[in-house]
Amino acid sequence: MINLEIPRKFNALVRQAQEVAGEVLRPISRKYDRAEHARPVELDMLAAVIDGMNEGNSEVGGTGATGVRRDANAGADGVNRNGTNLSTALSIMELCWGDVGMLLSMPRQGLGNSAIASVANEEQLARFKGRWAAMAITEPGCGSDSAAIRTTARLEGDHYVLNGEKIYVTAGDRADLVVVWATLDKSLGRAAIKSFVVEKGTPGFELVRLEHKLGIRASDTAAFVLTDCRVPKANLLGDPDINPEKSFAGVMQTFDNTRPLVAAMAVGLTRACIEEMGRILKEAGLSPDYNRPLHRQSAAASEFVRMQADYEAARLLTMQAAWMADNAQPNSLQASLAKAKAGRTCVDVALKCVELAGSVGYTENALLEKWSRDAKILDIFEGTQQIQLLIIARRLLGKSSAELK
């Protein structure tokens, strides 16, 4: 039985995340939105505190987006487990109430860390422990279709030689490592896609530019070119053999872990918008009456109630997907449901709040303007809205990717 309330053992973690969001992230949010590409140095000490929390309590984890790992034996005994997937999602919700870009700028809390945690072996987990990892999937000719990756990896002795180009790499400039997706054999399609950990400074791995963006400006977004970049064999994550039955699925497991986390980011930002809009409505003397039909209330109050309902749906779907991962239940469908619902809700709510707030929401005097820009990326990265709907359709209809494109 799923209990979608916050588990009591996570209450302290959630309170800590709330304090960080309110006392550290929110106050410097606008500063780094204006100073794009400037590194938020205030986060360095916070990252050290989170590292200490992770060391002291590995079950609950810290307050960042550090990698989460499935327990293959979870659920076998019928015991309900609330573990690192759920705790991380809950803390991310709070931190993104503070600022999404700041969360993505937090040292050693990158999405690449989730990729390593999902599929790395024990030796790799130990070797890459404590290092900040970005994740490089998207290419100029390959966006939502991850199976169309053209970056190549060729085995030469004890190294793989990587060639290709990667764009839109979150935290690519500041991270220590970049998890690069590449194909061992283009002719074999998705089965040959593997992920490789590339250390910054590796010859042939060149940062070519930092992107100027609509939102999440505190976070750096990089583009790389790999030219005969030699990566040790030991840096390949997962099984090096090409298995058409399961090879790509092993790589895609990363998304089953990270999509609920991105959904959690959207949930946190949605809550920030709704709370600010509630304050504005209250100052204007408009408070929704939850005991009256919506058509008998003001348009603003009706819209506010609808936004709250969508927020609750997104929050519960996100918690369900994370809970399933903690209990070793296949959650590909639920992860995409959460990502699709939370991402779209975040965009819709942020824009509606700007509309309802009028001039107050359109100026830099309030954060609603910034949040409306930050929201859009949450409906795009880790799989666009359209890709999530396609995955959901495949799961519900029992169709393969070849049958339903």
Active-site residue list: 382
Query: In 3D, which of 253, 278, 263 has the Cα closest to residue 194?
Result: 253
Maximal C-alpha separation, the chain = 73
Going 228 to 233 to 238 to 239, the CA torsion angle's sign is positive
Separation of alpha carbons 226 and 132, rounded Å: 20
Contacts of 314 (CB under 8 A, 6+ apart): 263, 266, 267, 270, 338, 341, 342, 345, 346
Helix (H) or strand (E) holding 162: strand 159-170
User: Which tokens belong to 340?
Assistant: 């699709």
Sheet strands (E) in 211-280: 221-232, 236-237
Contacts of 139 (CB under 8 A, 6+ apart): 149, 150, 151, 164, 165, 166, 167
Determine contact, residues 257/325, Cβ cutoff 8 Å.
yes
User: Which tokens belong to 268?
Assistant: 């946190």
Q: Which residues lie across from 155 on neighbouring strands?
A: 160
User: Which tokens belong to 133?
Assistant: 């990892």
Q: Do the strands 133-136 and 177-183 form a parallel or antiparallel pair, or are they unpaired?
A: parallel
Annotate 170-218 with DSSP letters as a single string.
ETTTT-SEEEEEEES-GGGGGGGEEEEEEETT-TTEEEEEE---SS-TT
Separation of alpha carbons 368 and 361, rounded Å: 5
Residue 165 Cα distances to 142, 178, 208, angstroms: 10, 13, 10
Determine contact, residues 205/165, Cβ cutoff 8 Å.
no
Determine contact, residues 357/368, Cβ cutoff 8 Å.
yes
Query: What's the one-letter identity of residue 37?
Result: H
